């Protein structure tokens, strides 16, 4: 997978195209470098404990409970089928979310009171959601699902 990462904020351009400015922190194109160590669920054949703690896990809910009758689909994302630690020493810093490879949102986390999970309320009828989790010890992990 060809990807680039913003050295300022850690945003990953998963389509391999470096943007003119970072959509998260607005750093210029020159802030991006090639990212060759992205761990993607699709490339991992056998999942050990580390993979089970880091690969984003999805729950798609077609009937939104918060914004009903608007065609809203909820895509819940949690990090790891085994819950990832959330301590100062080891935590998920952020989850970046993309629809059809285009970045749409970032959830940032402090480790002390919350779990590494977030939700998107999507108003388009179908597509692919990609989640990129950033662990402060173990790097960036990508997974995607259709909705």
Which residues form the interface with Fe ion (CB under 5 A)?
135, 137-138
Q: Least distance in Å: CB of 138 to Fe ion? A: 4
Q: Which is nearer to Fe ion, 137 or 146 (CB)?
A: 137
Alpha carbon distances (Å) from 46 to 52, 54, 58, 60, 91: 10, 14, 19, 24, 23
Closest approach of Fe ion to the CB of residue 30, in Å: 30
Which residue's CB is nearer to Fe ion, number 27 or number 50?
50
Please give the residue whose beta carbon sits closest to Fe ion in the complex: 135
Q: CB-wise, 73 or 91, nearer to Fe ion?
A: 91
Q: 29 with 11: CB under 8 angstroms?
A: no
Q: With CA atoms as reference, report the closest residue to 31 among 9, 15, 16.
A: 9
Find out whether 115 and 80 touch, Cβ atoms under 8 Å: no
Q: What is the token pair recorded at 49?
A: 């404990």
- Identify which of residues 90 and 101 has a Cβ nearer to Fe ion in the complex: 90
How many C-beta neighbours within 10 Å does residue 133 have?
Answer: 29
Kindly state the smallest distance separating residue 32's Cβ from Fe ion, in Å.
Answer: 24
Report the nearest approach of Fe ion to the CB of residue 79 (Å).
9
3 state DSSP class of 123: coil
């Amino acid at each position: 997978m060809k990807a680039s990462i913003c050295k300022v904020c850690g945003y990953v351009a998963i389509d391999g195209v470096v943007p003119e400015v970072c959509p998260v922190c607005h750093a210029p194109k020159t802030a991006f470098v090639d990212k060759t160590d992205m761990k993607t669920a699709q490339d991992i054949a056998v999942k050990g404990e580390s993979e089970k703690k880091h690969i984003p896990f999805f729950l798609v809910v077609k009937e939104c409970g918060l914004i009903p009758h608007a065609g809203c689909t909820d895509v819940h994302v949690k990090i790891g089928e085994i819950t990832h630690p959330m301590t100062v020493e080891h935590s998920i810093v952020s989850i970046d979310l993309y629809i059809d490879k285009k970045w749409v949102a970032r959830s940032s986390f402090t480790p002390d009171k919350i779990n590494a999970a977030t939700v998107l309320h999507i108003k388009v009828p179908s597509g692919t959601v990609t989640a990129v989790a950033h662990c402060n010890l173990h790097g960036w992990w990508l997974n995607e699902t259709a909705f």
